[in-house]
Structure 1
Amino acid sequence: MYRPILVALAVVLCSAALVNEGKVLVFPLDGSHWINMKVIIEELHSRGLEVTVLRPSDAWYIKPDSPHYKSITLNVAGGFDHDNFGEFVKRTVEIRRQGASFWTRMALEIDLIKESNKIHRMVLLMIEEMFADDKLMKSLRDTKYDLVLTDPAIGGGVLLAHRLGLPLVLNVRWTIQGEGHQAIAPTPLSYVPIPWSELTDKMTFTERVQNMLTYIFMSLQIMYVVDPNYIPFVHRHFGPNVHYMELFQSADIWLMRNDFTFEWPRPTMPNIVYMSGFQCKPAKPLPKELEDFVQSSGEHGVIVMTLGTLVEKLPEDITEDIAAAFAQLPQKVIWRHKGKRPSTLGNNTLMLDWLPQNDLLGHPKTRVFVAHGGTNGMQEAIYHGVPLVGLPLMFDQPDNFFRMKARGVAKVLDLATVNRDNFLEALKEVLYKPSYKEKMKVLSSLHRDQPMKPLDRAMFWIEFVMRHKGAAHLRTESYKMSTIQYHSIDVAAFLLAVVLLIFAVFIAAVKFLWRRLFYRNKVKKE
């Protein structure tokens, strides 16, 4: 009677052993995206998997040495180095300060298009060099990886996975064409707002027109930035009948760094796995000096401010105003800032080159989080239930903060108009108006109320792909269809043609019968 149980146990143990001996090839994106990819890599390593990370020679955050992964440094630049990106951030801040006008928005978009175009070219050059390196490609094939894990905001990992013929898992919120859902799931523009439109799922007619125009504008960007880079490359290496987005859409699992406490309700697909907040975790004790500073705030609590990994400092006049506003509050302030120390800095403010963001947000004395609007920071604020004051700068940050504002948990300021008075007013509103804290607690409760942790869910599906050599049964084949086939335009045209043919035959028959009857009556009369 024990034999079936023993057999089942042996099968489970063998499956676990197979997974634990698995090998994962990671093609990451640098910057803040690397921070969340690193969380997944460390968890994979803790489960006994062998992880290899591909990194360009100019990698910024991706280090060559780590106890959690092996690295392969490519002898080519990836276009995401510290100096170049720092210049882009500086230009973006300067343009945003010119005011919230149509022309400012266009200047921002044009500069972003130029920077994106440069990065796409650099990535494809890197992949071209890799494909031409027979020794490297042979080594990657001989290692017999079980899957490729990549961030599809750049296309290199997707292209490499298809060249190696390996299952593909995406750590995704963005693809090279925009928000991840748009590449794989139905996206009705009537109630699914396009990112950057700053609309909700409840749109008036005018807002639906705005949403459609945003979609058209984004499509034009794809046509003039992404298509010219990727179409020739994919045709050259994968054949003239392959569209580059087919390679993305054929991924086995989409680990979506999002969920519906942050995303608006929308259609989804069975191979999309939501893991919003997977990088969040309970707060650890603070270093003693930092804990003493926090405790010295008494009943007033602490404000935490950081603008993320990409923005180390703001223009000096803005930092002077921010410091002056902080100085007028009874709260203590912990501010990550690498620029010049403001002359208006108050005794209540502690400036640091680095701060333990998750641990500070999880501290019971933290009252407000002043942030730039990166997805990681937004999710940590939701996880720990801390309301927000926003200074969005670039990329998806304005859209992220719009979502938080629409849910009543954030006050958002424009970099072009921020000053001492309105910054102080925003802080006081979020600090002393109870609705911000109450609504954020509701969001936090919804986010945490899950049957399993987001990171565990991500690990399950990565290991699932490894066990089953893919997840084709969850993947729609619609990506192989043309636009005409996908929208059934050919079917509608055929049915319309049939209806018109029947109608034409009917009219012809009626005419024939009428003429015949008319001719017979005429003969009788004669």
Structure 2
Amino acid sequence: MKLLLEELHARGHNLTVIRTSRSWRISVQTSSASASRARGVCSECRATWSDHHEPGNSCRCFAQRGYRGSRRCLCQDAPEEITEEIAGVFAKMPQKVIWKHKGDRPSTLGNNTLIVNWMPQKDLLGHPQTKVFVAHGGTNGVQEAFYYGVPVLGIPLFFNQYDNLIRLQERGAGKIIQLADVNGHSFEQGLKEVIHQESYRQNIQRLSRLHRDQPITPMEKAVFWVEYVMRHKGSRHLPTEAYKMPWYSYYCLDVLFILLSVVTVLLLSIVAVFRFLCRRRQRKIKTKES
């Protein structure tokens, strides 16, 4: 959204963004896409890349969505020994590591690892020295890694994360380590495999080229549609007809009522048939006894 507003301001539009509970609204005062190009990393991350960088030793960043604290309280209870083992693996790597981590500082943390509470993930993934992305498999992170062509070592936690990562793994662009299998050995082996097997990078960069090959860039498309709405005074023909639906139709209560009515009629019909058969049988029995 910030990049889109900067582009619109550069084109001479003076806009105000209003965020509601359901959507973003752009208000035009006067007038005359998700993934985009990386704009550069923060000074702290840039220092991590450049510090002690020796010629011939390619510096590689591991941008990790810290699996401790990455999803509020659900992940803050990760075993401390696992965090220590992961930090120990990072310490043994010859590359530089930028790790998004919340919690106590691991005692095995190496000098090559920078721990941050927040990092410009998109800009880091777009940096040419980034070689692998350790992530939990969230939709935004996977899409950004896919766009910038960075192979992924995934540790899925819940929801749709495993589904996102399995799609990359099936295409040879990433590798999955199950949460129950995470330890120092498995993490180190997976990390080395994704880094040193060139097929991972080749596959995801091929997919990235296919994804980027579009007639216009996502930014140009977003700018076009914003200007389209401004040119046509709000484009009242575009909003969905769902806004005009009554509340009972919006929540499908009318459909639910019809289904319940059908089920009720069927049940009553079955009960009526059984009662009729039972009464007929009783009459036959009384007729025989008399």
Normalising by structure 1, we get a TM-score of 0.39
**How do 1:52-91 and structure 2 match up within 5 A?**
52-54=17-19
The answer on whether the counterparts of 2:36 and 2:218 sit within 8 Å (CA) in structure 1 is no
Please point out which of 54, 57, 60 is paired with 1:299. Answer: 57
The answer on whether the counterparts of 1:45 and 1:51 sit within 8 Å (CA) in structure 2 is no
Please point out which of 69, 78, 90 is paired with 1:326. Answer: 90
Map of 1:470 onto structure 2: 235
Deviation at 1:462, TM superposition (A): 2.4
For 2:120 and 2:54, the matched residues in 1 are separated by: 18
The 3 A distance-change label for structure 1 pair 405 and 347 is same
Deviation readout 1:290-345 (Å, 9 max, x if unpaired): 33238359534313233179547752232112112222322221212231111122
* Corresponding residue SS for 1:440: helix
The 3 A distance-change label for structure 1 pair 353 and 424 is same
Map of 1:402 onto structure 2: 166
The answer on whether the counterparts of 2:98 and 2:114 sit within 8 Å (CA) in structure 1 is yes
Deviation at 1:39, TM superposition (A): 4.3
Letter in 2 for 1:402: I
Map of 2:35 onto structure 1: 279
* Corresponding residue SS for 2:51: helix
Aligned residues: 231
Deviation at 1:400, TM superposition (A): 1.8
Deviation readout 1:478-522 (Å, 9 max, x if unpaired): x98999xxxxxxxxxxxxxxxxxxxxxxxxxxxxxxxxxxxxxxx
Letter in 2 for 1:330: P
For 1:294 and 1:379, the matched residues in 2 are separated by: 32
Query: Pairwise CA RMSD of aligned residues?
Result: 3.5
Deviation at 1:360, TM superposition (A): 2.5
Map of 1:63 onto structure 2: none
For 1:411 and 1:297, the matched residues in 2 are separated by: 30
Letter in 2 for 1:290: T
Map of 1:50 onto structure 2: 15
* Corresponding residue SS for 1:306: strand
Structure 1: stretches of 5+ with no match in the other structure: 1-36, 56-122, 124-148, 152-156, 158-165, 167-274, 484-526
For 2:130 and 2:52, the matched residues in 1 are separated by: 8
* Corresponding residue SS for 1:472: coil
Deviation at 1:476, TM superposition (A): 9.0
Deviation at 1:459, TM superposition (A): 1.9
Deviation at 1:475, TM superposition (A): 7.0
The answer on whether the counterparts of 2:38 and 2:127 sit within 8 Å (CA) in structure 1 is no
Map of 2:100 onto structure 1: 336
Map of 2:281 onto structure 1: none
1:427 aligns with 2:191: yes
1:382 aligns with 2:138: no
The 3 A distance-change label for structure 1 pair 377 and 280 is farther
1:363 aligns with 2:127: yes
* Corresponding residue SS for 1:452: coil
Letter in 2 for 1:417: D
The 3 A distance-change label for structure 1 pair 337 and 445 is same
Deviation at 1:41, TM superposition (A): 4.6
The 3 A distance-change label for structure 1 pair 52 and 356 is closer
For 1:409 and 1:472, the matched residues in 2 are separated by: 42
**How do 1:235-250 and structure 2 match up within 5 A?**
none
Structure 2: stretches of 5+ with no match in the other structure: 28-32, 253-290
Letter in 2 for 1:50: L
Q: Which piece of structure 1 moves more, 370-379 or 281-290? A: 281-290
